[in-house]
Amino acid sequence: MSNKQIATPLAPAAIGPYSQGISTGNLVFISGQLPIDIATGKLLEGSIAEQTTLIMKNIKIIAEEAETSLDSIVKTTIFLTDLSNFQEVNAAYGAFFSNTPPARATVQVAALPLGASVEIEAIATVG
């Protein structure tokens, strides 16, 4: 079984030596996404809900490039620098899952790349 790199210019490019996503077998691993606006290449300066929405839109784009969808996501991890933002992030995130939401972990971290406040990674199935 070989790994296939997932890459699309419609979502933020990796900021280090990693892929936007990797497909292997019937799984797609989507790397942690920051609230980067691809038009500017910079972090979105908006509310935590707006940042979460942008991240989820970018995850959707990467998932579609991997020939899967948000409905096929089975696990996500949300990293927050401040858990007091949990409810606002939860509401914005939840709007993307109309069917059964995936399994999820949410953790507070000391810091995120580029000084971001939120990062989300995902695992989806294909086929």
Per-residue pLDDT tens digits for 51-62: 999 999 999 999
Place of tokens 């294909």: 126
Q: Contact 106/60 with Cβ under 8 angstroms?
A: no
pLDDT at 99: 83
The residue ranges of the chain whose pLDDT is under 50 are none
Q: Tell me the DSSP string of 73-118.
A: EEEEEEEES-GGGHHHHHHHHHTT-SSSPPEEEEEE-S--GGG-SE
Residue 125 CB neighbours (<10 A): 14
Burial class (CB in 10 A: 0-12, 13-18, 19+), 75: middle
pLDDT at 40: 92
Residue (of 92, 88, 86) closest to 55 by Cα position: 92
pLDDT at 15: 85
